[in-house]
């Protein structure tokens, strides 16, 4: 899915194809999920108006300092997969699309569904908490902006702190305590 990671020079390992293959596969596995998460995030940034495919690619490239570049040919099947994930009863629709003519050209716009918003909150929370948990081992720091967000203590879904109407986590149903941030850590 990921085209290339700029700044990562694997040529020094070219003497060993095993190293090269391992790194290629490892990076691809690692970035597959992160890529999807960030695609959903970019789509969310455009609200209900949504974003068309090419703009989505450009945003992703620019907002990630050209670290996360999706191969152009794989974007649309990926969007299709997010629009219609699974089959039969196990179906999810995280994004939806509509067609609109702009500048004399028909384009397809993608926007996040209500279900997609919830799933994204969970994925973001889970990913950030995961980064926080591995920060010590890997010697880096992470700022979770806990003045603005709380994280479900059970499933790690990220919830906007200002939205104090929310009493339960929408993903796992766990009761949230907005008065004590420590309880929700």
Partner 1 sequence: MKTETDKLVNNYVKEVKKHLPDWIKNNAEKLEDIMLEINSHIWDSAQEIANSEDPEPKFVQEAINRLGSPKEMARSYKKRGTPKYFISEELWSIYSNVNWIVGIIVFLVIATVQVVVIEPNNLVQALINGITLSFPTIMTFLMVITWIFVGLSHEGYYPEDLDPDKKADKEKDPKSKFYKPEEFLFSGLVGALFGLLIIIIPIDMINLFRIIVNFILDLLGRNTVAMRSEVVGLSVELQIWLTIIGILAILSGIINLAKIGTSEPGYQFKMNILLIFTGIADFVVAAYILANIHLLAEVIPLSDTVLFLLALLGVIGSLIDLATKVYKNTQLYGIMEDESFPVYS
Interface mask (CB under 8 A) for partner 1, residues 102-131, using x and -?
---xxxx-----------------------
Between 2 and 13, whose beta carbon lies closer to partner 1? 2
Cα–Cα distance for residue pair 74/69, rounded to 1 Å: 11
Sign of CA dihedral 52, 58, 63, 68: positive
| Residue count of the chain | 185
Q: For the CB of residue 24, give the shortest distance to partner 1 in the complex, in Å.
A: 17
Beta bridge partners of 152: none
Burial-class residue 86 by CB neighbours within 10 Å (0-12, 13-18, 19+). exposed
Residue 32 binds to partner 1 (criterion: CB under 8 A): no
Residue selected from 55, 64, 96, 154 as contacting partner 1 according to rule CB under 8 A: 55
Residue 174 binds to partner 1 (criterion: CB under 8 A): no
**105 within 8 A of 12, measured Cβ to Cβ:** no
Q: What are phi and psi of 73, to 5 degrees?
A: -70, -15
Q: Which residue has the tokens 């899915």?
A: 1
Residue 62 binds to partner 1 (criterion: CB under 8 A): no
Residue selected from 81, 96, 113, 154 as contacting partner 1 according to rule CB under 8 A: 81
Residue 96 binds to partner 1 (criterion: CB under 8 A): no
Stretch that binds partner 1, among 11-19, 30-38, 49-57, 130-138 (CB under 8 A): 49-57
Interface residue list for partner 1 (CB under 8 A): 52-55, 58, 71-77, 80-81, 87-88, 97, 99, 105-108
């Amino acid at each position: 899915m990921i085209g290339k990671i700029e700044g990562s020079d694997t040529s020094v390992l070219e003497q060993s194809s095993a190293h090269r293959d391992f790194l290629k596969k490892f990076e691809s596995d690692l970035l597959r999920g992160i890529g999807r998460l960030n695609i959903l995030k970019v789509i969310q940034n455009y609200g209900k108006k949504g974003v068309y495919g090419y703009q989505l690619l450009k945003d992703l490239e620019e907002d990630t300092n050209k670290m996360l570049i999706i191969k152009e040919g794989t974007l649309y099947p990926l969007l299709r997969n997010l629009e219609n994930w699974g089959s039969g009863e196990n179906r999810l629709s995280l994004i939806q699309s509509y067609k609109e003519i702009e500048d004399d050209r028909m384009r397809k716009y993608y926007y996040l569904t209500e279900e997609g918003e919830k799933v994204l909150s969970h994925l973001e929370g889970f990913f950030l908490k995961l980064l926080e948990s591995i920060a010590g081992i890997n010697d880096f720091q992470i700022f979770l902006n806990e003045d603005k967000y709380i994280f479900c203590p059970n499933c790690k879904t990220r919830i906007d702190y200002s939205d104090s109407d929310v009493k339960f986590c929408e993903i796992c149903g766990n009761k949230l305590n907005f008065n004590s941030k420590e309880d929700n850590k």
